[in-house]
Structure 1
């Protein structure tokens, strides 16, 4: 078996740029998994002239957490790395605490990485984590298995940020043996053994170290490469979707709608079956509107969401950057309010109304609009730039991007 350092370095070589001014971020909890990763990543970064940034999240759930954060800061100092302590502030939920903590952790890490200019965050998930996820799914949970390379699950905070998990072939026992041989000590969080939580129960029930997971049918990356932007939505040739797995339709709906909860279950299955029949039709799912003719399938934002509390306005101060409706990144040099075009079409100029006619009717109402500007934000306007996010998000989610962006 290859040594641990060789396994990690091979993954870093495959996914990271050897020469880049951007820092490499490492999520360090102080536990054995993330500590081993930080040590090896520090050697790799030094060899390639890259800077390292250690990110530590204090969930403010235990009295010891401040001391744990200080221990991580000391590790960063020893490695010559930058360090940022991140805190999950505010009230904590009475139920669903592990899931809420995971969401908060990813959001904090993604925000910090973007602020520092890091495009990749290294995380210490292991083969044991994959086994735990599989055990949880057997009890009815929807916990996904961690992937070696994936976009940040936090949206829109994690746009453009990727996660790299080089330890997925390694077990916790192996990592701790490696650390012990080097005289390293690590933190053991008692929550990992708290059987009130499903992951701790799954961890206790593990009996082996092998991971046996079937690969997802079809090529999600090729499907994503076939997609094109359509006014912030997505359009694909009907022929490209023949035999596409349900996971792709779920991702396309999620990205076109700008939301964070992918559709599952019977409704998703019915959509995939309907599109496989190649007949024209339309459907709505998870905030997306899907329109199909005999040659194309369009995934759009459902404009009716405006009447149900979606498509909320976004107020931006001068010099601010924000994401409206999870679908458009907007940078402005002046104070603006961004809102949905639906209900405002009468205020458009004749030229703007004519320009909209080239778009499918279902795509128009969900476009971003600034009152008084006279036209929707389809392209850059004086003092305002707009970037649709759906296509980049889909390609990242489906694996069409497999290396650190330049």
Structure 2
């Protein structure tokens, strides 16, 4: 059990009075709870852990399991809280919806407790299964697997300290303590892809896949750092919604770096949750060597003008977002078009956020000087504005509405191995800073 003694050594708990540990009652999460309690007790008991169990309301026995976890936590001297997924459950995409609901509830519990860390019990087996499924779909950047830590909504770190520990080791640890656990029936359901993959993986294959994921994560991190440098040194925001990068610098970069940088800029300009395909991006990059080239990909328009490449959101498919109604309170935040987090505080019944569409005023002198006029106007047409019916009222930022730029693929979640490019592109967009991960020395193990 020597490998279990160091699972928290790379996490910086200092300055935190509380941390959340997700405990379903399964073997992995219970082992995480007991290991964490031992670790913290050896160091004076701080920060204090709170175990949170999420009842998805999908199995009748889930409520009793949550109560059993609560009872175990009382005996262990750990605070416990049950969070329930309320409302109607979707008929399709249930697993993804449950995962998002679980993360949201755990983040809510962390916020209530004034902490930014949630620990989860993902194991080396989970990592191997995830990578096997991604390889079956083509791999790519996904070969990095599950990140050791992921930042949610720029606030909450989901940290996975057991990613290098085998599931069997954790169960042996619990047996040594005389602790039993619940087995979720879905974990043996052959209709689940993950279950079928789990049953097919031998021990040596699990070791090989976890090592492959670690190597791919290092490569992804290094690639991201080089792309971040390219964007930081040669990118700028000459007008709202318009990204510019030096064409010569992009074309002179290593092909992998140039391609990854271009994929990021297209996804961010278009507000898409996923990077565009690498092969289509490579073709677009080759075409952008010619002056006057203009093309679109991932809802973004890319144009070569002079020595620069410009990117802006294309005009099709832009959303409208109602800002209030008699039965819905104001003071809320929503993601708009995958490019902005929009927050409003005052009652705004009858108003909505929609695209400028060219209804706004002409360019200011500074905007006209910094970018080609037609590109600045095209970018502005896709910027958020306030409307009452078909009446244009002005740019959203002039109505006391907070606009926070977000980086499309990382609008909700930022894996720790993508911190460098996410930070660079948010700096380019004049967005919020990303907090440092909770690593000792701010470096992932």
What TM-score does the superposition give when structure 2 sets the normalisation length? 0.72
Correspondence for 1:58 among 41, 55, 62: 55
Q: 2:386 — aligned with what?
A: 370
Q: Size of the alignment, in residue pairs?
A: 385
Q: Does 1:264 align with 2:271?
A: no
Query: Helix, strand or coil for the counterpart of 1:260?
Result: coil
Of structures 1 and 2, the larger Rg is shown by 2
> Aligned-pair RMSD on alpha carbons?
3.7
Deviations 1:341-370 (A, max 9, x none): 333x43x456x7666645633421221112
* Residue 274 (structure 1) shift: 4.7
* Residue 75 (structure 1) shift: 4.4
Q: 2:46 — aligned with what?
A: 49
Q: 2:428 — aligned with what?
A: none
* Residue 325 (structure 1) shift: 2.4
Deviations 1:293-319 (A, max 9, x none): 56544443333222xxxx222415543
Q: 2:130 — aligned with what?
A: 133
Q: 1:322 — aligned with what?
A: 334
Within a 5 Å distance, the mapping from 1:190-269 to structure 2 comes to 190-208=185-203, 209-210=206-207, 211-213=210-212, 214-215=215-216, 216=219, 218-224=222-228, 226-227=231-232, 230=237, 231=240, 234-238=243-247, 239=249, 242-243=253-254, 244-245=256-257, 246=259, 248-264=261-277, 266-269=279-282
* Residue 198 (structure 1) shift: 0.6
Q: 2:356 — aligned with what?
A: 342
Unpaired runs of 5+ residues, structure 1, are: 153-157
What TM-score does the superposition give when structure 1 sets the normalisation length? 0.78
CA distance in structure 2 between the aligned counterparts of 1:299 and 1:175, rounded to whole angstroms: 49
Q: 1:25 — aligned with what?
A: 20
Q: Does 1:403 align with 2:411?
A: no
Q: Is the 8 A contact 1:32 1:175 kept in 2?
A: yes
CA distance in structure 1 between the aligned counterparts of 2:116 and 2:290, rounded to whole angstroms: 39
Q: 1:83 — aligned with what?
A: 81
Within a 5 Å distance, the mapping from 1:285-364 to structure 2 comes to 285-293=297-305, 295-306=307-318, 311-316=319-324, 317-336=329-348, 337-343=351-357, 345-346=358-359, 348-349=360-361, 357=368, 360-364=376-380
Q: Is the 8 A contact 1:76 1:83 kept in 2?
A: no
Within a 5 Å distance, the mapping from 1:113-124 to structure 2 comes to 113-114=110-111, 117-124=114-121
> Which structure shows the higher helix fraction?
2
Q: Does 1:388 align with 2:405?
A: yes
